[in-house]
Amino acid sequence: MAGILVYALHDDEGNFNKNSLGAISEAARLAGEAGGEAAALVVGEVADDACAALGKYGAAKAYRAKGVPEGLAQPIVDAMAKVMQDEGFSYALFGGGLLGFEIGAGLTARLNAGVTMEVTKVKVADGKLVAERPILQDSQVADVGYVAEPGIIIGRLNAFDANEGDGSADVVDVDVELSPWSSKATMVQRGEQRGADVNIEDAEILVGGGRGLGAADGFGLCEELAESMGGAVAATRAVVDAGWYPYAAQIGQTGKTVAPKLYLAAGISGAIQHKVGMQNSENILAINKDQNAPIFEFSDLGVVGDLHKILPKLTQAIKAKKG
Amino acid sequence: MKICVLVKEVPDAAVQKRIDPGTMRLDRSGEKNLNPFDTHAIEAAMQIKEGGAIPVEEVIAVTMGPDSAVRALHKAVALGADRSVHLSDDALAGSDVCATGYALAKVLESESPDLVLLGQQSDDGECYTIGAVVADHLQMPSLTQVIKIDVEDGKLRCERQAEYGYDTVQVELPAVISVGDAINEPRYPSLKAIMGAKKKQLDAKANGDVGIDGGMVGEAGSKTAVLALNPPPAKEAGEIIEDEDTNETVEKIVAWLDERKLI
């Protein structure tokens, strides 16, 4: 194997994304086993020392495409494709998140390469990479191999842990010519926060609300219950996009990742995109009227019933118990 | 302008899905339905057409799949599409994401659309990816998981959630946009529209009709192979309570919480 190239996403302040750093560590581990080296690709005006610091996570080189804007996929497809081809990388690896899906998919078309997404684990067999992808609501895991190189692997959110050690990456500047269609989408505003700023990451008890609440005011039930337990309220993407609850409280694929002592899911179906953000909670209690909801497959206690009846009584009972 | 909406027939949500161990492909027998996310894409097309910010001559539903996929097209037409195109060819069976994206791009090319819309994911597999694959083949700008589209001066102003919050992105046409389910509430088709759907023009196309290179699709053109299927890591099944008497249910929940020192 000739090497693995990882896209390292960063925010407007230049902080690298945790999932990208995890993907770099994973690439370094795989390169150690299969031969070749792990490298990262960074776009935009990122400082030398910030790029070199990717070496701490296992990148031997950091390719920097200064003229390529961050935040939209297609210019980064141009950069990834150029470095993959010029330097002869065997695989491209992306940490979980939205941009990784888009860039990986675009790269598939550009390089006529195989792609596997929602990957939770990567292993080496005969010097090649094999991606493990859970399918059919995580009821089975497919081992996916690549017929030819290069291959593209898109991780699931939080699939790869970032391991920080010593090391410094060599920073290599690359000139990338953008495809004509890559500059036809332009960012007007990036990373707008909508709604109140709430902190859910430090809470030991979280009451999460989903579509099953029925309407925005259903969150009142969650807030009362959370208050009775000294916890906070979180939400699914569907209800945040619908404007029922602030973005800062969102858990999942494009939101926050939490691991409280108790996660009480009220009216949440448990789609993979939500699951990846809360499955490491110590105790998961789900209330849902649909007995086939996927959330029951990974909850410790599942209650099949109407949350509008159960939540108010539960709040009362907890208050009474606490006196 | 001309809008093509990519749609897909998927196993109905109520069907227990399984992989055929012989072919390593999804067993597609049983009840099928139009992919729910695609109904949002059709609705988005209808809202652009009815919105009047840009004249829309035609909305065309496009699918790739076996004969039965015609029913997904009928449903798409009942929801408002003017006509439909069905790419069907035995040589397409077993196509992976790379091969499927290529084939869809070829059939779309034959329609020269100004806008391609699709649902952000299919109920049965290729999460989030197909739009971006198609876009790169068509050499069009693209954005996925979009929850708001406005037409302004012949361009699209799109909003979506990304890693750091909401992004607003301006996209020039022609473009490929995948939409999330928060973008709209799809309308219900009228009985008249359902009855009339089968009478609308439906063009059947084979690989040769749209210039698909047979070596780039199907199993021969796929770049990935499923090597094995394994059960997921074992997880202890949780306890399930059916709420019959809510007071009793609440008592059980409180006892469970108490046992774990969560109160």
Q: Which is the CATH superfamily of the domain at A3-183?
A: HUPs (3.40.50.620)
CA of A78: which chain B residue's CA is closest? B136
Say yes or no: B245 contacts chain A, CB-CB below 8 A. no
Cα Dmax for chain A: 69
Do A101 and B144 count as a contact with CB atoms less than 8 A apart?
A: yes
- For B69-88, what is the mean pLDDT? 97
Residue-by-residue DSSP string for A12-56 = TT-PBPHHHHHHHHHHHHHHHHHSSEEEEEEESS--HHHHHGGGG
When mean pLDDT is compared across A23-27, A191-195, A259-263, B125-129, the lowest value belongs to B125-129
CA of B126: which chain A residue's CA is closest? A117
Q: Give the DSSP H or E segment for A79.
A: helix A73-87
Cα A312 to Cα A228: distance, rounded to the nearest angstrom: 11
Question: Can you give the C-alpha Rg of chain A in angstroms?
Answer: 22
For residue A43, the model assigns a pLDDT of 98
Boundaries of every domain in chain A: 3-183, 205-322
CB atoms within 10 A of CB A198: 17
Residue B235 confidence (pLDDT) above 80:
no
Tell me whether the CATH fold assigned to A3-183 matches the one assigned to A205-322.
yes
Assign B223 a pLDDT band (cuts: 50, 70, 90). very high
Do B224 and A112 count as a contact with CB atoms less than 8 A apart?
A: no
CA of A248: which chain B residue's CA is closest? B165
Size of interface A-B (CB pairs under 8 A): 279
Assign B126 a pLDDT band (cuts: 50, 70, 90). low
Chain A CB contacts of B254 under 8 Å are 314, 317-318, 321
Higher model confidence: residue B159 or residue B23?
Answer: B159
Residue A59 confidence (pLDDT) above 90:
yes
Q: Which is the CATH superfamily of the domain at A205-322?
A: TPP-binding domain (3.40.50.1220)
For residue B147, the model assigns a pLDDT of 95
Say yes or no: B230 contacts chain A, CB-CB below 8 A. yes
Nearest to A101 among B128, B223, B250 (CB): B128
Instruction: Give how far A36 is from chain B: nearest CA, Å.
Output: 21
* Amino acid identity at A98: L
For residue A92, the model assigns a pLDDT of 98
Q: Residue B98: is it exposed, middle or buried by C-beta count within 10 angstroms (0-12/13-18/19+)?
A: buried
Per-residue pLDDT tens for B6-64? 999 998 877 778 888 888 888 878 888 899 999 999 999 999 999 999 999 999 999 99
Chain A CB contacts of B147 under 8 Å are 241
Do B141 and A185 count as a contact with CB atoms less than 8 A apart?
A: yes
Number of H helices, E strands in chain A: 8, 16
Nearest to A317 among B125, B143, B254 (CB): B254
Residue B233 confidence (pLDDT) above 90:
no
Chain A CB contacts of B185 under 8 Å are none
- For A154-158, what is the mean pLDDT? 94
A-proximal residues of B, 81-140, CB under 8 Å: 96-98, 101-102, 105, 125-137, 139-140
Assign B128 a pLDDT band (cuts: 50, 70, 90). confident
Assign A147 a pLDDT band (cuts: 50, 70, 90). very high
Say yes or no: B255 contacts chain A, CB-CB below 8 A. no
Say yes or no: B228 contacts chain A, CB-CB below 8 A. yes
CA of B247: which chain A residue's CA is closest? A313
For residue A174, the model assigns a pLDDT of 98
- CATH code for B2-221? 3.40.50.620
CB proximity list for A222: less than 8 A, separation 6 or greater = A207, A208, A209, A213, A233, A266, A311
Per-residue pLDDT tens for A187-243? 999 999 998 888 899 999 999 999 999 999 999 999 999 999 999 999 999 999 999
Cα Dmax for chain B: 67
Instruction: Give how far B170 is from chain A: nearest CA, Å.
Output: 5
Residue B171 confidence (pLDDT) above 70:
yes
Do B141 and A182 count as a contact with CB atoms less than 8 A apart?
A: yes
ipTM: 0.93
Cβ–Cβ under 8 Å, residues B51 and B42: no
CA of A320: which chain B residue's CA is closest? B254
For residue B222, the model assigns a pLDDT of 94
Q: Give the DSSP H or E segment for A142.
A: strand A140-146
Chain B CB contacts of A189 under 8 Å are 166-168
Do A98 and B145 count as a contact with CB atoms less than 8 A apart?
A: yes
Assign A137 a pLDDT band (cuts: 50, 70, 90). confident
Average confidence score pLDDT of chain B:
94
